[in-house]
Amino acid sequence: MDIKNLPPLSPIPDNIAEYLQNFLQTPADPALEDWLAELLRASSHIATADALRWRVLVMVWLAAEFDIEKSWQYLMWFNMNEPVMGDQVAELLTEAADEFGCHLQLAHWIAHTTDERLKTFFTGYKNIPGARQFPPLMDWLFAHPTDPRTKTWLAGFLRDTVDHPAPTLRGWRILAAIWFAAVFDAGKGLEYLQEFLEDGALSEDDCEKLAARLREHHRLDAVRQWVAECPRAETRAILRPLLPDAVQPAAETLAAPADFSGLDASADRAAADAAAHRNVLSRLTQAGIKPDAAHILAVGGGMLAPDAALFGGQKIRVTGVDTIVPPAFLPVEGIKAQLKRNRLKGAWKSATADYYRALAEKSGIKPKWKSVNIILADPAATIPAPDGTFDAAVCRDFLPHTPDVSGVLAEVARLLKPGGVFIAEFVPFTALGGAFSAEIAESPWAHLDVDSGVHTTPDGRWLNRWRLSQYQAALVEFFEIEQWQIEKDPRAAELLSPRLAGLLERFAPEELTAARLWVVARKR
């Protein structure tokens, strides 16, 4: 449906709703003004329920986007010549917004109209989507979290639902208030949030429901990153405790099917993990840390925890921490939970046997777990250990996958002894392979497009899209950087043509051609 070839309206097409749905994607196109006006005139004799909905929508559309004089007489006739929208028209408009999925556009019209008649007409109208409209609407908002249209809709929704009694809206209001406070207006967002706080905190029930909703929509990491990167420290301090941490409760993990099929190909990465571990040992020694006499914190080892396993194989004292841990380290209470954990352990051992055999072969170290302790916890929250516990911390392939980089660094710094060493290694998002996608050759660096929506890896891990300068700035708050080594990607250097370099001029060449980054830093 090309807007340049508007359909004739005599007679009105049977699929007029499809045309309107399509044209709402560019509602301010000048070509639509006369066509919408003619549609209102030509449809004046149609009084079916479907037609009444789209006719009211077209009236508001024409008035708000183009010329109020061309639709005002229709609006007044529909509204019994009352200047403020009546219940019948409000119901039709809400149904139309649900049908056409245009609540965002409606919010824009309401918020930005300059005509006093239209402002009065919208007085008291509540632009609240139906329950079925929330998921697709929120998906769009989540994909454009800082878009001005998102701000407009959130502000309108928070205002319109102040006195709304529906319990189903409570969770959405809490999320909208946190979002508005973290991303747009701390004062106004916190003002809306106050109604839900008891002694400065959300109830346990609200937190559980918020976590469930965010996990259901795979948005927990996104919201946690907005809060973590909120520019106002006092706002971060208020909002952080309200959000659930990234740890999935052990009970949920234990209740899940024993499916570790995602680890079947893990043996392919054993050589790289073995080489990286040798690199870690070398850098620890260079930094004056004797691994066999140290207590080491391994941050973000995931389901394989390669560094922890290899440290264990050398009888080096190690404690790991992550939001995902090998089943043997899941905390349990009671016989039933232990049996469930054993079921998961058996399936996990079968799925990872080839990986650990390959890891032993490539590293010359047999992975062992006897001296290893791994904690199921959020590395950006409070890790259950006293200040100054560890001599060194190792964090490989984790920082791009946490929504709260600064939180992780602060917690690592707290746990390190004075002069303790922090070693990090990861693939930067700006690298050719920074999105961990297999489609690199067809469109290199396509993931760097702001509108690409790339915030997760193909296997579902979060990507925070941080630049190298952001990591440097966050590190120097807590550490002295002693090594900042960028490994180059020869393939990237070949692909970075002058044309591509021009298109990607906002990125430094060293960011684009990096294969991975190694950092050695010492606690201040």
Largest CA distance in the chain: 88
The answer to whether the beta carbons of residues 183 and 146 sit under 8 Å apart is: yes
The answer to whether the beta carbons of residues 326 and 373 sit under 8 Å apart is: no
pLDDT at 74: 95
Report pLDDT digits (tens) over 391-407: 999 999 999 999 999 99
Residue 143 clears pLDDT 90, i.e. is over it = no
Query: Phi/psi of residue 467, each to 5°?
Result: -90, 165
Query: Phi/psi of residue 204, each to 5°?
Result: -60, -40
> What is the arithmetic mean of pLDDT over 144-166?
93
| N-to-C CA span, the chain | 62
pLDDT at 135: 87
Three-class SS state of 417: strand
pLDDT at 417: 98
User: pLDDT-based confidence at 338, cuts 50/70/90?
Assistant: very high
Distance CA 379, CA 323 (A): 8
pLDDT at 2: 59
Distance CA 334, CA 44 (A): 71
Residue 69 clears pLDDT 60, i.e. is over it = yes
Mean pLDDT of the chain: 94
Residue 64 clears pLDDT 80, i.e. is over it = yes
Report pLDDT digits (tens) over 82-113: 999 999 999 999 999 999 999 999 999 999 99
Report pLDDT digits (tens) over 416-461: 999 999 999 999 999 999 999 877 767 899 999 887 888 999 888 9
Distance CA 123, CA 119 (A): 6
CA distances (Å), origin 191, targets 158, 183, 202: 10, 14, 14
User: Cα 238 vs. chain centroid, distance in angstroms?
Assistant: 20
Percent of the chain with pLDDT over 90: 85
pLDDT at 441: 65
> What is the arithmetic mean of pLDDT over 253-262?
91
User: pLDDT-based confidence at 208, cuts 50/70/90?
Assistant: confident
Distance CA 87, CA 180 (A): 29
Report pLDDT digits (tens) over 5-55: 799 999 999 999 999 999 999 999 999 999 999 999 999 999 999 999 999
Report whether CATH 3.30.360 matches the domain 248-423.
no
CA R_g for the chain: 28
Report pLDDT digits (tens) over 271-325: 999 999 999 999 999 999 999 999 999 999 999 999 999 999 999 999 999 999 9
The answer to whether the beta carbons of residues 214 and 223 sit under 8 Å apart is: yes
> What is the arithmetic mean of pLDDT over 249-261?
90
Domain chopping of the chain, boundaries: 16-121, 131-244, 248-423, 427-467+480-516
Residues 6+ apart with CB under 8 A from 34: none
Dihedral of alpha carbons 114, 119, 120, 121, sign: positive
The answer to whether the beta carbons of residues 320 and 374 sit under 8 Å apart is: yes
> What is the arithmetic mean of pLDDT over 471-494?
97
> What is the arithmetic mean of pLDDT over 113-142?
93
pLDDT at 245: 83
User: What pTM, to 2 d.p., does this model score?
Assistant: 0.88
Dihedral class, residue 445 (left if φ above 0, else alpha if ψ from -120 to 50, else beta): left
Q: Are strands 372-376 and 295-299 parallel, antiparallel or unpaired?
A: unpaired
Percent of the chain with pLDDT over 70: 99
